[in-house]
Chain A
């Protein structure tokens, strides 16, 4: 028998040839073993493409599972905390799934492709958990990461680009909707989803048609400022949108080694995703108990004084006139579009109520000199960036 040595190099996505053509920096990193770009020519300018025209991001390495079978709805309903009965075919749901201790294993999006047919997308891989969860259900779970190529097409001109591409009826697609088109004889799935908090879509297609789709898309976007972007720009956009990221803002519970390092949905401000009307779902008993007893942690969005980003900063609060440590930031940046110093962090309860002023300890460096400042930070509840165009249906022409 001939044995093929597994490649030790990073894998490449179907869009890799186009990305390398555009790449001027040679800044790549590994995303679950795939070659993924930090930035192709300038992260800041790429970021502005998202906010000003359209950024295109290759999200093919996203872990994808196809869930089918007669029990698929019951299965997913038991898996995630929110009520999936409400997610009809053609709809997409953001969801989290927990272990029995009510701790988040991961978050992700679930696409209800057709009646009884779902795709689950997440940052991390979860096959053993999904398989264990399937014991006693008539479902099939297939990992299809390499079988589906994906592009995020995000920004105010994205609708115009897709319309130019010839996707008729795209104007009717509402946020968190999905629809299918024919693209050169293959099925192109388009969902109005994204990780940028702006108007945007995600396009999903079989790898064989990936380059043709890219070319058609860029042709259609020529006049609309279409720009390929890397992870750095996307990361900036997602913090502005107030979205949390696995591994950065929380840790997948099954992979934490130390106790108390994982988080429940309540502790991440995702109460709205937990539906106790469902009689059974993973984590229900523990979450009900947490609801009664109170949570240990709370996620905060912070609007911080000044302009020095509060990366890896301690968050303080006042207790009986004394300053005490309450938590730490997990994501932070200067927001170019909001002109705000923003951060996502986690603090111990009962601190961090919306409207509270806390202090953030920031270290910054100018020409080798390190300076420490304690900056006031107000806890806010809305996303930092939330333009109306994000929700408008039909979206406006830009």
Chain B
């Protein structure tokens, strides 16, 4: 029987990227996927007639340009188009537009406050500074601060040096930024509630924390550090839906001779004498490999697909207590036409971007209080987009696809499973909220897919439906991610690696965890590294 050099479990974007870099180095790599389609949470699915749904992840920005280039994704069919616009609808009938052009944004913010319109520039420079600080570490393996190995010490020194180079004043800002809540961070720049509200959303997306919870300023950064062609902080659509990202990486992988098998769910990662030997599929088939890489989140990997006795007790304890909380839901909607929003002038370019329907910091925080009580937000923070305005390939001409990301939505309702009635009620909450600002919206709906965290877990395999494979809190970042002492992509069993978003630098369609893991594997196998370094000074 054939023995692969490496098996990657899960054909999500990270799994595929990892597989691609390994294959590029000449390894014989097999990527296994339980679903009939590849992509994990970055998929384009045809769930209603001729509509294509980006039904999980829906926008692209964090994908590292180094990986994009190095895996030749453009030639493999990926095209990312940035979008501008976006707005926050206000209960009083007004709205706050998010314009791409800085002078127009100045004018828009000035309608509310000249002070805030000016302050945005400083806010933006300060936030960018933090982005630059952290972005360098995206394509690097976190050092172990408890280790005395030269490599760890050098990496720690590199972080220290970069920190030191910021200068005294900005070092303090950095200390504060990393520990502050997004609400407090914004309070230091802005005075207008709706402006703060509009900016605060990035601090909680995908996170089981409220805008007032310390640590959420970092989450904001996590959403800002992406870029589209050097436009840092910009977001874009993958032409053909987010599945195009996975497909392009898969094409790249296959071009290096890699092999993908779908409908091949892994039951168990096999271990013999403290060393990985391969995997057993749910079908009973066993495939052997020298290296097994898991793209699944740590809980799924170690609690479902490995034998407890093969794992160190303290490691397993940390995995069991790894925080991976379902806090977001999703509605995917097929529309018969473009809904109108009377608050906006006809033809407003703002429609191209993310639309939000919460206009105060108090409402943002109240949405979190519902989640804490084990139910979905009755007045949720919805990040709504109509990708078909930019990407016509996703729906028939004149028709539209709408993606609604919903914060907060728990994995369980008051500790028990969701009922169908509750799922429908959750959907209704979101639809009603949008319909308040768009009278013709409901009539245009042809099909709705409502996804609670439970549904996302069942389909995409994300534990609790957590989009980041684990909370982005300080105990689960950098050298603490996923588990202190195991942040360098190596599992606790020889030959076993982790490459999913549970590892540094975390979630979002970034592909950095997959790439970083590949670098470590190649180094262990004494193969030439195929993983690029970051572009630097951006």
Contacts and interface: CB of A to CB of B under 8 A. Distances in A.
A and B touch in the complex (CB under 8 A): yes
Interface string B98-110: 0101011011100
A1 interface: yes
Q: Chain A at the B interface: mostly helix, strand, loop or mixed?
A: loop
Contacts of B97: 5-6
B107 A33 contact: yes
B267 interface: no
Nearest to B348: A5
B104 A3 contact: no
Contact of A127 (B99, B118, B128, B345): B118
A115 interface: no
Interface in B87-119: 92-95, 97, 99, 101, 103-104, 106-108, 111, 114-115, 118-119
B345 A128 contact: no
Interface stretch (A168-176, A252-260, A314-322): A252-260
B73 to A, nearest CB: 28
B399 interface: no
A100 interface: yes
A143 interface: yes
A128 B92 CA distance: 27
Interface string A88-130: 0000000000001100000000000000000000000111100
A254 B173 CA distance: 13
A383 to B, nearest CB: 32
Contact of A257 (B95, B125, B345): B125
Given A8-B99, A101-B169, A259-B167, A127 B125 contact: no
Contact of A128 (B93, B108, B189): B189
A10 interface: yes
A1 B94 contact: yes
Nearest to B113: A127
A125 B118 contact: yes
A136 interface: no
A125 B117 CA distance: 10
B86 to A, nearest CB: 15
Contacts of B348: 5
Contact of A6 (B108, B115, B118): B108
Nearest to B349: A8
Interface string A1-27: 101011110100000000000000000
A132 to B, nearest CB: 10
B122 A1 contact: no
The interface size bin for chain B is 20 to 34
B104 A8 contact: yes
B381 to A, nearest CB: 22
A254 B125 contact: yes
Interface residues of A, number: 25
A8 B106 CA distance: 10
B121 interface: yes
Interface in B119-173: 119, 121-122, 125, 128-129, 132, 165-167, 169-170
Contacts of A30: 103
B127 to A, nearest CB: 9
Interface in B439-494: none
A6 B111 CA distance: 8
B114 A7 contact: no
Contacts of B165: 259
A222 interface: no
A128 B122 contact: yes
Contacts of A6: 97, 99, 104, 107-108, 111
B343 interface: yes
A6 B110 CA distance: 10
Contacts of A1: 92-94
Contact of A255 (B107, B122, B170): B122
B58 to A, nearest CB: 27
A376 B91 CA distance: 66
B189 A7 contact: no
Interface in B336-364: 343-345, 348-349
7 contacts: A1-B93, A6-B111, A8-B101, A33-B103, A126-B118, A128-B118, A128-B119
Interface of B: 92-95, 97, 99, 101, 103-104, 106-108, 111, 114-115, 118-119, 121-122, 125, 128-129, 132, 165-167, 169-170, 189, 343-345, 348-349
Given A3-B93, A6-B104, A128-B119, 17 more contacts: A1-B92, A5-B344, A8-B99, A8-B104, A30-B103, A33-B103, A101-B169, A125-B121, A126-B118, A127-B114, A127-B118, A127-B119, A128-B122, A131-B115, A256-B125, A257-B128, A259-B167
